[in-house]
Amino acid sequence: MPKHRILCRLLAGMGCVSLLAGVVLWGTAAALPDTFYTPAGEASLRIASMPWVSAVRTSGTVARAGNASGDKSRNVTLALLGVIPLKTVRTVERETRSVQACGTPFGVKMFSDGALVVAFSDQYTDLGTENPAKEAGLRLGDLIVSAGGRAVRSNEELSAAITAAGGSALSIVYRRDGREYTTTLTPMTDSTTGAYRAGLWVRDSSAGIGTMTFLDPANGTFAGLGHAISDTDTGTDIALLSGEIVPVTITGCVSGAAGSPGELRGEFSAAAAGTVLANDTTGVYGCYTGPMEGESLPLAWPQQIEPGEAEILVTISGSTPRRYTVRIERVDMTSSDPNRNLLLRVTDPELLAATGGIVQGMSGSPILQNGCLVGAVTHVLVNDPSRGYGIFASTMLEKADAIAP
């Protein structure tokens, strides 16, 4: 083979290697967040899920301006294998917090801040079928907050406003995707009853079973579920007006299978154990008034979590949680979806035999590793109930602190 062809192939090969190396470096840097929170006094930043990345240079430590807690920050340069610089990040020192890891089931009763549109019902007239709500531009998942100048907080208040309009046009204020809109709706007369109808079905409350992740004795708050409570028909997160939590006793379980998620079933107690203050994308939070329970554990920061063996605290019978083995398969510190920072697989034979893996009602179950609370179960993979996602416990604690009285 001519020498020039050998040289061309060699150069092409080197180019491919360089391109591959560049992709690896870019991917590794992209997987690193811009800011890390570290335990106070920690000598060097370590990332358990990326042991090949290490800190090679640290700037001077400075106190954060205007921060009464005394947190200190510094700039740290991270490098691949301690040689190739990847990214300079900011680290902020924080005192390690401990909370009561629970794993106990609880019931949530919530009333929405308005009337949620969950279905449409066409009305029959001499001219055929009509639907005033659709003609007004309303969609499934819209939250009606005002009708005819009256605040709407329940189904009854919306019905009263429609009746009071007497067939005349009335102004409807509704929320969609975080924005508020106004439209005009003209009710029509039901040909069989003579009543005025808007052609829609609405819901003003929701109830369900979840798992308590932790209690914070310092603030008297609770955190659970790891995701928001949403309407079963539309998937829209419930806009919270008021709510409470109650203890639950698990009475049975429907096992999960591929394509068919299982669920925990239980009985609600009549005694309230707390008030819901936030229905957030990261969980349900509020003030806790029940007896303090659970195991006191320190919270881990995301960089302290590693792929490998772990446990979850789950209650699948009665009201007492047990530990079951799982394996954390992936740690994603930069995911745009906080509910999917952890990917885990249930490995405990007893739990797999009883539930098939992760089922509805387990959302919020604490994930434990190396003596720390690292996260909470959030979702099950529909086609593989032995696997599911989790949220970082530190993310939930941040929200719990924000709503603390």
Does 69 participate in catalysis according to the annotation? no
CA–CA separation, 126 and 124 (whole Å): 7
Among candidate residues 112, 348, 365, 386, the one labeled active-site is 348
CA–CA separation, 100 and 297 (whole Å): 6
| SS3 of residue 394 by DSSP | helix
Among candidate residues 112, 227, 365, 386, the one labeled active-site is 227
Let me know: does 57 contact 76? Beta carbons within 8 Å.
yes
DSSP 8-state code for residue 255: P
- Cα 216 to its chain centre, rounded Å, is 19
DSSP 8-state code for residue 136: T
Query: b/e string for 192-221 if b means 16 or more Cβ within 10 A?
Result: eeeebbbbbbbbbebebbbbbbbbbeebeb
Among candidate residues 112, 146, 363, 386, the one labeled active-site is 363
Q: Give 289's contacts (C-beta < 8 A, 6+ positions apart).
A: 272, 273, 274, 275
Does 348 participate in catalysis according to the annotation? yes
The set of catalytic residues is 227, 348, 363
